[in-house]
């Protein structure tokens, strides 16, 4: 005869199985997306998905027992997906005024500094210092309305961050606009030393957030939030960031 204690354990395990299955079924229709930008999210030559934000989101999902794949897509497609009122999307992006349309779940522990990074010998004391230099502004990069609408500045539009860094390395531009830690990371990958740059002109500082569209159920958001908080507390998230950025932060 089965004892009451054994029945209790059997019932508890059965409940856990049901709850996990329910959580998975609720999350099956949610898209987990990361912008395609080195080193946020990218696909290696061997076909492996990698990146700071990709790794963070994947670890949060694994910890949350959610089996949805993380897809890496172009930034414009991600923006369109987040703007669709009926879409169920979770991603990691910088906190900005546009984010009032979505639910900010939890900061991931990655602080983003945006602005203009000049080459060695070019001093940017203030905004007016930008008037006499050529600046690479990667397509899709937008962090300061005044800067991006200023037609008096000499700007060129490379396809992405990597092309911008290559242009600076070849001396075709004097500075690059974008996320400062990312630019330094890519510069290091291209064989440039941090001494190749002067102090950046910082225009924005923001935290990167785990964010979901409002169509994603609050129960799923709560589950993701609790697991992300634990991963931060355990130091796992910082280790993932350090793998990519290290001294470039």
Q: Is the Cβ–Cβ distance between 241 and 112 less than 8 Å?
A: no
Q: Is the Cβ–Cβ distance between 76 and 202 less than 8 Å?
A: no
Task: State in words which class domain 113-205 has.
Answer: alpha beta
User: How many angstroms separate the CA atoms of 222 and 131, rounded?
Assistant: 47
pLDDT at 98: 60
In the chain, CATH 3.40.190.10 sits at 4-109+207-248, 113-205
pLDDT at 235: 95
CATH classification of 4-109+207-248 is 3.40.50.2300, yes or no? no
The pTM assigned to this predicted structure is 0.76
Q: Strands of 74-227 (E only): list them.
A: 89-94, 103-118, 134-136, 154-156, 175-179, 201-212
For 77, what's the count of Cα atoms within 13 Å in the CB-facing half-sphere?
Answer: 11
Would you give the distance in Å from CA 31 to the centre of its chain?
A: 15
Tens of pLDDT along the chain (249 residues) come to 455 444 444 444 444 444 444 445 445 689 999 999 888 999 998 999 999 999 999 999 999 999 999 999 988 888 888 888 889 999 998 876 666 668 999 999 988 889 999 999 999 999 999 999 999 998 877 777 899 899 999 999 998 889 999 999 999 999 999 989 889 989 988 999 888 999 999 998 889 999 999 999 999 999 999 999 999 999 999 999 998 887 554
pLDDT at 141: 77
């Amino acid at each position: 005869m089965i004892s009451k204690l054994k029945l209790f354990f059997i019932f508890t395990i059965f409940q856990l199985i049901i709850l996990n299955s329910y959580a998975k079924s609720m999350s099956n229709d949610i898209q987990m997306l990361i912008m395609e930008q080195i080193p946020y999210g990218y696909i290696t030559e061997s076909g492996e998905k990698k990146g700071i934000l990709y790794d963070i989101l994947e670890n949060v999902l694994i910890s949350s027992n959610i089996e949805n794949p993380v897809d890496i897509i172009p930034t414009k497609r991600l923006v369109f997906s987040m703007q669709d009122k009926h879409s169920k999307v979770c991603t990691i992006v910088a906190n900005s005024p546009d984010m009032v349309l979505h639910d900010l779940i939890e900061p991931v522990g990655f602080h983003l500094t945006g602005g203009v990074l000049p080459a060695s010998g070019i001093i940017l004391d203030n905004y007016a210092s930008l008037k006499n230099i050529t600046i690479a502004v990667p397509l899709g990069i937008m962090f300061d309305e005044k800067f991006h609408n200023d037609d008096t500045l000499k700007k060129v539009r490379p396809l992405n961050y990597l092309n911008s860094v290559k242009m600076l390395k070849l001396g075709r531009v004097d500075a690059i606009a974008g996320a400062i830690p990312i630019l330094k990371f890519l510069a290091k990958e291209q064989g440039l030393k941090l001494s190749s740059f002067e102090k950046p002109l910082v225009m924005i500082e923001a935290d990167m957030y785990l964010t979901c569209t409002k169509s994603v159920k609050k129960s799923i958001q709560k589950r993701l939030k609790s697991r992300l908080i634990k991963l931060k507390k355990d130091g796992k998230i910082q280790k993932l960031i350090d793998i990519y950025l290290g001294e470039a932060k």
